[in-house]
Amino acid sequence: MDSSPDISLGDELIVLVLKGKGDSIISRMKDGRVILFNRENVLFNELEPGMTAKAKVSFIAQNYIIVDPVEPPERGDEAIKLGLKMVSETENWENAVLANALLHIIDLLEEDT
């Protein structure tokens, strides 16, 4: 079991639900590890790509972690911003520039309201 300093058992995080292979759903850590959702969790069937979910870390492996949603997932502005932040941190600089530009525009629009 990996005891990486950035994540520990029981930690709660907000994750963006992404489409995995086939019909699966996943998310990703900043370090590239896959986040899997516990299929036995009562909230699992509510998860869909594009939603954010508050989840608790229940298992840590070298290449992946498993989380349990602790609140019903949400759609909306926060999911969009989290997705753009993930893209802005990728090595694909063209996509990162576009994501940062969109985040800047969103920040400007939020200042006006």
Q: β-pairing, 64-69 with 18-19?
A: unpaired
Q: Which SS3 state, helix, strand or coil, does residue 22 take?
A: coil
Band (71; pLDDT cuts 50, 70, 90): very high
Flag whether pLDDT at 2 surpasses 60: no
pLDDT at 113 over 90: no
* 3-state DSSP helix/strand/coil % of the chain, to nearest 5: 30, 25, 40
Note the pTM of the prediction, 2 decimals. Answer: 0.77
- The whole-chain average pLDDT of the chain stands at 89
Domain boundaries, the chain: 12-69, 77-112
Q: What's the pLDDT score for residue 7?
A: 87
* Half-sphere exposure for 7 (CA within 13 Å, toward CB): 24
Q: Which amino acid is at 34?
A: V
- Asked whether 100 and 82 are in contact (CB, 8 A), the reply is no
Average pLDDT over residues 88-110: 90
Average pLDDT of the residues in 67-78: 92
Q: Are 46 and 37 in contact (CB under 8 A)?
A: no
Distances in Å between the alpha carbon of 68 and those of 20, 87, 93, 96?
Answer: 17, 24, 32, 29
Give the pLDDT score at 57.
Answer: 97
| pLDDT-wise least confident of 18-22, 61-65, 89-93 | 89-93
Which CATH code is given to the segment(s) 12-69?
2.40.50.500
